[in-house]
Amino acid sequence: MSDELPLKGIVVVELGDSASAPFGGQVLAALGAEVWKIERPGPGDSSRSWGPSQWKGSGAAYHSLNRGKRSICLDLKDAAQLDTLHVLIRDHADVFLHNLRPGSAGQYRLDPESLRALKPDLVCCEVGAFGHVGPMNRLPGYDPLMQAFAGVMSLTGEEGQAPVRAGVSIVDFGTGMWAVIGILAALFRRARTRQGATVNSSLLETAIAWMTVGIANYAADGEPGGRFGSGVAFIVPHRAYRAADGYQIVSCANDRLFARLCEALDRPEWAGDPKFATNAGRLAHRDEIDRLIGERLATQNRAHWDDHLGRFGIATAPVQTTAELFHHEQTRALGMIAKPQEDEIATVQLPLSFDGRRPPPLHAAPEIGDDDDALKRLLAGKPA
């Protein structure tokens, strides 16, 4: 299927570190682009040292974010090696993607103005922290900072408890996705106009985007919102309840589905109670109806409720561990976790299919400088 991938023939040079830009680069590779990853001498990408989980001497996180790429080792402080990077971009790249520390790209003549003067049709994508403009545009930043600054933490966790960060790096990965969306749009425009583009995305902009509904709610009524644990502010029931062997999510987005839930729980009288008959009533009596539903769900295990509530058309799912997800038959059926070959680490695949087929697993993440010789051949005009 690799010959059919939509980005076949596109060359990306990625100067990415940690999570956001490397994730974007990996998505581009999964879509068929040839991605040349630049790593600094010695430690290479920061995620190589992340722990505690390791695979073949590097952090498992590195392998999860850098599959399908070629790695070249360049010291940007060395003038000759920096010139090599400029030549690679000028003569071979369609896209340059980076998340250098704010303000440092210009130091290496890797800012969009310098690069597009060198190659006018280049798509240059900068992934920043607090954004490319504004009084904080030169500050560094990481995922937890942005979840805090953008208010995501103010809506996450239990009321009255300490702020909670989402357990996965939603801002890092989301920013990588926005970078890819911007790059694809710029490539589409370039095919029509033959002109390159400068694409900017940032962790803060992504975090603010995740606040879409919360900000609309505040704009409407001036209320900043609160924390509802596994639930949400505007629908009841729509949360996790403790079953006999764990937690089960139950969601009823309208009154009709709530009436079905009452039938499934053998409590039809709840649907006729003025306190609970409408979502507005359930919001006003959230604690009471949540307690009643929770008492019923505690009597059986998650598998029972999955089957029983499902037969009534109720949206429900168990709160699973990573291990449960990894081994679940639905995960296997989707082919979302796979290995390029048996002796490699299993990783998550691209969540897209084309004509019913998912792109094949990418080859293993490279070691630092694996493709240094290939780069020399490429710059010498030979097959890389």
CATH number at residue 262: 3.30.1540.10
Q: Is 172 a catalytic residue?
A: yes
Supply the mean pLDDT for the chain. 95
DSSP secondary-structure letter at 197?
E
- Of 45, 94, 143, 172, the active-site residue reads 172
Range of the domain at 290: 238-318
33-50 pLDDT per residue, tens: 999 999 999 889 999 999
Average pLDDT over residues 143-160: 95
- Same domain for 273 and 182, yes or no, is no
- Same domain for 20 and 129, yes or no, is yes
Give me the number of domains the chain comprises: 2
243-264 pLDDT per residue, tens: 999 999 999 999 999 999 999 9
Is the predicted pLDDT of residue 4 greater than 90, yes or no?
no
- b/e string for 4-36 if b means 16 or more Cβ within 10 A? ebebeebbbbbbbbbbbbbbbbbbbbbbbbbbb
- In degrees and rounded to multiples of 5, residue 242 shows phi and psi of -75, 120
- Same domain for 244 and 375, yes or no, is no
More confidently predicted of 103 and 326: 326
In a domain, 216, yes or no: no
- Same domain for 199 and 54, yes or no, is yes
- Same domain for 303 and 171, yes or no, is no
247: tokens are: 């937690």
In a domain, 37, yes or no: yes
In a domain, 329, yes or no: no
pLDDT band at 267 (very low <50, low <70, confident <90, very high): very high
Contacts of 10 (CB under 8 A, 6+ apart): 28, 32, 33, 34, 94, 95, 187
In a domain, 55, yes or no: yes
CATH of the domain at 107: 3.40.50.10540
Is the predicted pLDDT of residue 157 greater than 50, yes or no?
yes
CA angle 63, 69, 74 (to 5 degrees): 100
163-167, 173-177, 179-183: least confidently modelled range:
163-167
Is the predicted pLDDT of residue 1 greater than 60, yes or no?
no
CA distance 195 to 9: 18
Contacts of 60 (CB under 8 A, 6+ apart): 50, 53, 54, 345
